[in-house]
Structure 1
Amino acid sequence: MGDFDVDWLRLRGPADVRARAADLPLLLRPHLPKRSPLKVLDLGCGTGSNLRALAPVLGGAQSWLCLDADTDLLDRLADETHAWAEASGFDWDATDRRVTGAEPHLTCTPDLNCTLATRRFDLARDLAELPIEGIGLVTASALLDLVSETWLAGLVSQCAKVQVPILMALTYDGRVAFEPALSLDREVIEAVNRHQGRDKGFGPALGPGANGRLAILAAAQGYWVEVRTSDWRIRRSERALQTALIRGWSRAAREEVTASDQAGIAHWEAVRLAAVERGCSRINVGHRDLLAIPRRA
Structure 2
Amino acid sequence: MERLEATGSGSGFSVEWLRLRESADAAARAGELVDLLRTRLPSRAPLVIRDLGCGTGAMGRWLARRLPCPQRWILHDRDPVLLTHASENLPATGMGGEPVTVETERRDITQLHADDLADTSLVTASALLDLLTADEVTALADACAEHPTLLALSVEGRVELTPPDPLDGEIEAAFNAHQRRTAEGRDLLGPDAVDFAAGEFERRGAVVHRHASPWRLGAAEAPLLAEWLRGWVAAACAHQPGLTAAAESYLDRRLAECADGALRAVIHHGDLLALPAGV
Q: What TM-score comes out, normalization by structure 1 length?
A: 0.86
**CA deviation vs aligned residue, 1:13-53 (integer Å, no higher than 9, x gap):** 11001101111111012222567311111000011111111
- Mapped pair 1:152 → 2:137: yes
Query: Aligned residues: percent identity?
Result: 38
The one-letter amino acid of 1:226's match is H
- Mapped pair 1:100 → 2:100: no
The counterpart of 1:56, out of the listed 52, 65, 74, is 65
1:226 aligned counterpart, secondary structure = strand
**CA deviation vs aligned residue, 1:176-224 (integer Å, no higher than 9, x gap):** 1111110000110110000001245792111011111111111111011
The one-letter amino acid of 2:103's match is A
1:271 aligned counterpart, secondary structure = helix
Q: Which runs of 5+ in 1 are unaligned?
A: 86-98, 102-107
Instruction: Give 1:135's aligned residue.
Output: 120
Distance 2:274 2:212 in 1: 15
CA apart distance, 1:228: 0.3
Distance 1:144 1:78 in 2: 22
CA-based RMSD: 1.8
- Mapped pair 1:264 → 2:246: yes
- Mapped pair 1:14 → 2:7: no
Distance 1:201 1:283 in 2: 32
The counterpart of 1:116, out of the listed 81, 85, 102, is 102
Distance 1:200 1:159 in 2: 25
The counterpart of 1:32, out of the listed 20, 35, 41, is 41
Inter-CA distance 154–202: structure 2 relative to 1 (3 Å threshold): farther
Instruction: Give 1:280's aligned residue.
Output: 262
The one-letter amino acid of 1:131's match is D
The counterpart of 1:222, out of the listed 205, 214, 217, is 205
Inter-CA distance 12–278: structure 2 relative to 1 (3 Å threshold): same
- Mapped pair 1:234 → 2:224: no
Q: What TM-score comes out, normalization by structure 2 length?
A: 0.91
Inter-CA distance 130–146: structure 2 relative to 1 (3 Å threshold): farther
Inter-CA distance 121–199: structure 2 relative to 1 (3 Å threshold): farther
2:72 aligned counterpart, secondary structure = strand
Distance 1:139 1:65 in 2: 10
Instruction: Give 2:74's aligned residue.
Output: 65
CA apart distance, 1:111: 3.5
The one-letter amino acid of 1:145's match is D
Distance 1:211 1:135 in 2: 23
Instruction: Give 2:271's aligned residue.
Output: 289
The counterpart of 1:45, out of the listed 50, 54, 57, is 54
Instruction: Give 1:193's aligned residue.
Output: 176
Distance 2:186 2:115 in 1: 18
- Mapped pair 1:164 → 2:147: yes
1:36 aligned counterpart, secondary structure = coil
Q: Work out the number of aligned pairs and report it.
A: 270
Distance 2:23 2:182 in 1: 28
Distance 1:121 1:49 in 2: 19
Preserved CA contact (<8 Å) 2:75 2:104: yes
Instruction: Give 1:173's aligned residue.
Output: 156
Preserved CA contact (<8 Å) 1:147 1:202: no
Distance 2:221 2:184 in 1: 30
Distance 1:31 1:201 in 2: 39
Distance 2:274 2:220 in 1: 35
**CA deviation vs aligned residue, 1:75-134 (integer Å, no higher than 9, x gap):** 1113333xxx4xxxxxxxxxxxxx126xxxxxx2x443211111111224x334872111
Preserved CA contact (<8 Å) 2:43 2:69: no
Greater mean alpha carbon deviation, residues 31-40 or residues 282-291: 31-40
Inter-CA distance 47–130: structure 2 relative to 1 (3 Å threshold): farther
The one-letter amino acid of 2:58's match is S
1:60 aligned counterpart, secondary structure = coil
